[in-house]
Structure 1
Amino acid sequence: MGSTSLLHRLVKRIETKEYRTAGSEERHQWLDNNDLRPVPYADRTFGWKSYFWFWLSANATPASFYGVSAALTAGLSVWEALACQLGGQIMIAVVFVFNGRAGAVYHIPYPTIVRASFGIWGSYWPIVNRVVMTLVWTGVNAVQGGECAYVLLHSIFPSIARIPDVFPSGASALNSGGMIGFFVFWVLTTSLLHIKIPSLRPYMYTKLIIFFICSICLLGWALAEAGGIGPVARQGSTIHGSTKSWTVARYVFIYCANGATYATNAADFLRYAKKPKDAFWPQLIGYPLSTFVVGIIGNLIVSSSTITFGELIWNPINFMDALLQRHYNSATRAGIFFLSLGFLYASVISSIFENFIPAGNDLAALWPRFITVRRGFYIASLISYAMCPWYILGSASSFVSWLSSYQIFLSSITGVMLCHYFVVSRGYFKVSDLFIPSHDSLYYYSRGWNYRAYIAYVVGIAPNFYGFLGVFGVSITLPATRMYYFAYPMGLALSFGTYWALNKLHPPVCSKMGEHFHEVQAEADSTIIGSEPEVIDINLRADKGMMESSEKDASLV
């Protein structure tokens, strides 16, 4: 009895506040917590300027410096590779703004929105897809941030570079000194996760200023060492004819697919918009333009390495460490210290926005009774350490290819979501029904699962799965390889078309196909209830007093 009572008290202690304060008749609503509801009025603070600067700041990270390196190694020139990146990211920005429209209008996150198309229970698989990708990227980006921390420590303590390496050769992306840097980065990032997301805007703007100051300083230093922009920036393409045409096509869509994770959970970012129009042009222009600008600076920096060191160093952080090892004097150490400190700060803030925010939203959706977005942040932080990402990067030769190939699963999810919002529901969501696990909900379908969405999901994946196997060394034909270049748009189109056809043949209760496009933002607003003591009002009985209470009391995290 004693142990049972202790366990019961422990369970009660870790339940979210919404569940604890709900009445017994309402506790079946474990699909709900504050983080899955519409954003309170007070937190809808992002205007068009905020979003534009947000993307410029989000891409102001060392990881964006060498985004076109793969296209360069394939034989394209620097400027051709940058053009491929810009073209691909314009494409994914279009998908991003349209798939995030529901978030901008109804102010709800991706895990809640996906219930409308896949069903109340069927939404779990798309959420798991995003959770896996987010957690893996959280660990990978922590390794990259750890490199910045290592260079900073190396500028202070020369002995860190002489620590005996305990890892087997080639098994880890980090040596023993790099592991110290990883731990420093991990602690810094985790210590900032308690800050509310809207309150992070000052950090975002500060990071933008610091990053570009450091980038321009490093660029000037690199050009001074090399005496010019370097041969890589001036050299032309080494491939021609049809080979070059197929290479361009391949990398345009690779850079498109690299933003697939953003496009899938676009609502997690756009739900904070003051008005829906604030979430359109800033993303469409700001996202691809910001990556392009950072990419130009990064490639000019690393192109000088062939003159300075006689070899090409594609990672500017490794380039800084090479400068430090070449001239380990007080002037160099001071310069590298401040540069690496600025880049470390940029990496920390970027990791929070690009990794922890999606991870927190997705994990909160998996078990709302016990997990809030804030708790999801800390769970993601622990998993990112526990998965030992330095081994993943060091030992899995196909790791990067696998990550980009995961596009075939995300494209099918996005295609279904786009079709449902714009064609099937015609812009209308009954937000309260997204939290009802019963036949009373428009989105319960068949026992909480929408078979139409899952058929469309499989159809979108099927033609690309053969090419996906080729990533792992399975021998496939040249036509199949080339067809796989177009995996993302193909999966998007096939899942969209299949979902449309199935809804046309067998319309669900929530279908409004053939009606006028009609978004009802008041539906989202009337669903926000004060965080204490009420829970979400399933019958939309919210009155003005309740909504005022929500605006005053409800918080995001």
Structure 2
Amino acid sequence: MTEVAAAESAGLYNADLAPTTAAHRTWGTYNYISLWFSMSMEVSTYMLASGLIAGGMNWKQAIVTILLGNLIVLIPLLLNAHAGAKYGIPFPVFVRAPFGVRGANVPAVLRALVACGWFGIQSWIGGQAIHSMLVILSPSAAAVPWAVWACFLGFWALNMVVVWRGVESIRFLQSFSAPFMLVMSLSLLVYALVKAGGFGPMLSEPSQFHSTGSFLKFFFPSLTAMVGYWATLALNIPDFTRYSKSQHSQVVGQAFGLPVAMTLYSFIGVAVTSASAVIFGHPIWNPIELLGRFHQPAVALLAMVALLIATLNVNVAANVVSPSNDISNLNPRLISFRTGGLITGFLGLAMMPWKLMSSFSSYIFGWLVGYSGLLGPVAGIMVVDYFLLRRKQLNLADLYRRNGLYEYANGVNYRAMAALALGVGFALSGLFIAAVHWFYDYAWFTGFFTSGGIYLLLMRGTDRDSAGGKTAEAKI
């Protein structure tokens, strides 16, 4: 049996998991800048920024918090991106080095569960957009209590149809999604600018925090949420950098693209929400609710259509492909990509996105901060393993092989599992123990440094330190 056949039979190899070749390395600096601009221009980014204003920050405080959070998460993101660009491997393969060829399924599933939650959230946003369109066309629909649920389930079902037909069925929408979101957002900005009487009044809303202590109490968990927003990409960024022409291309492209795109697009959410406080007497953080207050039905309807198309595209591209592959990888013989996609959809429903998005507090401090406590520990273990223990050297062939360097104990590195469990435990303990609530406020940071430090201590002195230094040139 050839090495490829053996890896396939062991469930460790297929065409999608194979290392990229020189022919695949086509992404330059511009591609990574474009990637971050397209990923940043979505409703959840707008609501991330608008939630800070609704929570009491003024526009300067909100922008600084967003910029600082994105600069922080850029560090582990670029560190984990290195292996993708160097070896051409995706996240599920890269994470086999610290967790083992079978144990890697645990962090992959954690990342997949978060994507399922995002799938539910985007479906809820799309359902709300359909409901708002319905109310614009027939105002009496606003009095029908079950209408919003019907719209939500209808949009969710549309996503499921796309998953069943294959993501290629909406490929033609991908080139339009970011421009649609930009047009919608600029429409909101112009509307708010005119209604508020210019940028002066629009950005004049003062901070609602009257002491440094009250501000910091809101600032630190908000900063954690900013980091948590891209905590998923900080793990699976090798899925993208494996196509990079060089390390320089991906580093420069991402170092520019992420903070600039997020800050610029977030400014629209900050400015419009600040203006809504001036226009309506209170900040409206949900852009769909704000669009519903347009006095020009045709404009509002067009904006809702743009939002709906963009949401469908983002949801399938960003929140279905990865978890479907991760779930399918648990048992490739029994779970196809389609089945994995359907499981993703039902898990998204089970996470009750209407509760996660019920307020800015639930979204920022419940969802974003909460799941950052699951993913921060994984990032810490990955960074420590690759840079401190293995010195950026991986045995490429053994990442696809049973009984190789990354076999550990029957394919599982229990040291990594212990470090992961302790990091998650510490990060989330603040939810249940008031005295250490700050562990939860800093959930991503708590998990990252706890798991990374414990993993380093547990792995020191083992044969894994030296084993990682043997770089195999064999091809799989």
Bin of the TM-score, shorter chain as denominator length: 0.7 to 0.9
In the alignment, does 2:224 pair up with 1:253? yes
CA distance in 2, matches of 1:218, 1:456: 46
Cα deviation for residue 401 of structure 1 reads 3.6
In the alignment, does 2:436 pair up with 1:466? no
1:267-282 to 2 correspondence within 5 Å? 267-282=238-253
The residue number in structure 2 matching 1:530 is none
Q: 1:119 aligns with which of 100, 107, 110?
A: 100
- Residues 370/276 of structure 1: CA separation in 2 closer, same or farther (3 Å cut): farther
The letter of the residue matching 1:435 is: Y
- Residues 75/151 of structure 1: CA separation in 2 closer, same or farther (3 Å cut): closer
- Residues 242/393 of structure 1: CA separation in 2 closer, same or farther (3 Å cut): closer
Q: Determine if contact 1:60/1:212 at 8 Å carries over to the other structure.
A: yes
The residue number in structure 2 matching 1:10 is none
In the alignment, does 2:40 pair up with 1:68? no
The residue number in structure 2 matching 1:78 is 59
Q: 2:372 aligns with which of 367, 392, 407?
A: 407
- Residues 386/254 of structure 1: CA separation in 2 closer, same or farther (3 Å cut): closer
The letter of the residue matching 1:436 is: R
Name whichever of 179-188 and 125-134 sits farther off: 179-188
For structure 1, the residue ranges without an aligned partner over 5 or more in a row are 1-21, 167-175, 471-475, 528-557
Q: Determine if contact 1:122/1:450 at 8 Å carries over to the other structure.
A: yes
- 1:496-540 CA-to-partner distances (Å, cap 9, x unmatched) read 232223322222276346x9xx7x7x65xx32xxxxxxxxxxxxx
For structure 2, the residue ranges without an aligned partner over 5 or more in a row are none
In the alignment, does 2:471 pair up with 1:500? no
The residue number in structure 1 matching 2:418 is 455
The residue number in structure 1 matching 2:123 is 142
Q: Determine if contact 1:32/1:368 at 8 Å carries over to the other structure.
A: no
- Residues 153/281 of structure 1: CA separation in 2 closer, same or farther (3 Å cut): farther
Q: Equivalent residue of 1:449, what SS?
A: coil
The residue number in structure 2 matching 1:338 is 302
Q: 1:130 aligns with which of 111, 136, 139?
A: 111
The residue number in structure 1 matching 2:393 is 428
- Residues 148/239 of structure 1: CA separation in 2 closer, same or farther (3 Å cut): same
The letter of the residue matching 1:102 is: A
- Residues 250/27 of structure 1: CA separation in 2 closer, same or farther (3 Å cut): closer
Q: TM-score, normalised by structure 1?
A: 0.75
The letter of the residue matching 2:427 is: N
- Residues 504/450 of structure 1: CA separation in 2 closer, same or farther (3 Å cut): same
Q: Determine if contact 2:428/2:439 at 8 Å carries over to the other structure.
A: no
In the alignment, does 2:471 pair up with 1:511? no
Report the identity percentage: 26
1:64-463 to 2 correspondence within 5 Å? 64-162=45-143, 164-166=144-146, 176-177=147-148, 179-180=150-151, 182-184=153-155, 186-187=157-158, 190-191=161-162, 194-195=166-167, 200=171, 203-229=173-199, 233-237=203-207, 238-323=209-294, 327=295, 332-371=296-335, 373=337, 376-385=340-349, 389-390=353-354, 401-403=365-367, 404-437=369-402, 439=403, 441-463=404-426
Q: Determine if contact 1:58/1:353 at 8 Å carries over to the other structure.
A: no
> Whose helix proportion is higher, 1 or 2?
2
Q: Determine if contact 1:140/1:389 at 8 Å carries over to the other structure.
A: yes
Aligned alpha-carbon RMSD (Å): 3.1
Name whichever of 284-293 and 267-276 sits farther off: 267-276
CA distance in 1, matches of 2:206, 2:270: 14
Name whichever of 493-502 and 386-395 sits farther off: 386-395
Q: TM-score, normalised by structure 2?
A: 0.87
Name whichever of 138-147 and 356-365 sits farther off: 356-365
Q: 1:54 aligns with which of 35, 38, 41?
A: 35
CA distance in 1, matches of 2:22, 2:157: 33
Q: Determine if contact 1:140/1:393 at 8 Å carries over to the other structure.
A: yes
Q: Determine if contact 1:223/1:304 at 8 Å carries over to the other structure.
A: yes
Point out the structure with max Rg over C-alpha. 1
Q: Determine if contact 1:231/1:306 at 8 Å carries over to the other structure.
A: no
Q: Equivalent residue of 2:47, what SS?
A: coil
- 1:282-338 CA-to-partner distances (Å, cap 9, x unmatched) read 222212221211111122223232343343211111101122xxx4xxxx1211121
Cα deviation for residue 411 of structure 1 reads 1.3
- Residues 276/128 of structure 1: CA separation in 2 closer, same or farther (3 Å cut): same
CA distance in 1, matches of 2:168, 2:450: 39
Q: Determine if contact 1:230/1:307 at 8 Å carries over to the other structure.
A: no
CA distance in 1, matches of 2:60, 2:220: 15
- Residues 463/42 of structure 1: CA separation in 2 closer, same or farther (3 Å cut): same
CA distance in 1, matches of 2:178, 2:280: 30
1:28-39 to 2 correspondence within 5 Å? 28-39=9-20
CA distance in 1, matches of 2:336, 2:90: 13
CA distance in 2, matches of 1:136, 1:266: 19
CA distance in 2, matches of 1:444, 1:42: 31
Q: Determine if contact 1:115/1:123 at 8 Å carries over to the other structure.
A: yes
- 1:23-73 CA-to-partner distances (Å, cap 9, x unmatched) read 7x7764233322222246555433221111111111111221121344334
- 1:431-481 CA-to-partner distances (Å, cap 9, x unmatched) read 3322323x2x111012212122123223433443431325xxxxx13xx23
The residue number in structure 1 matching 2:442 is 486
CA distance in 2, matches of 1:391, 1:462: 24
- Residues 383/452 of structure 1: CA separation in 2 closer, same or farther (3 Å cut): closer
CA distance in 2, matches of 1:486, 1:308: 35
How many residue pairs get aligned? The number is 469
- 1:401-452 CA-to-partner distances (Å, cap 9, x unmatched) read 4432222221111111111111222222223322323x2x111012212122
Cα deviation for residue 78 of structure 1 reads 1.8
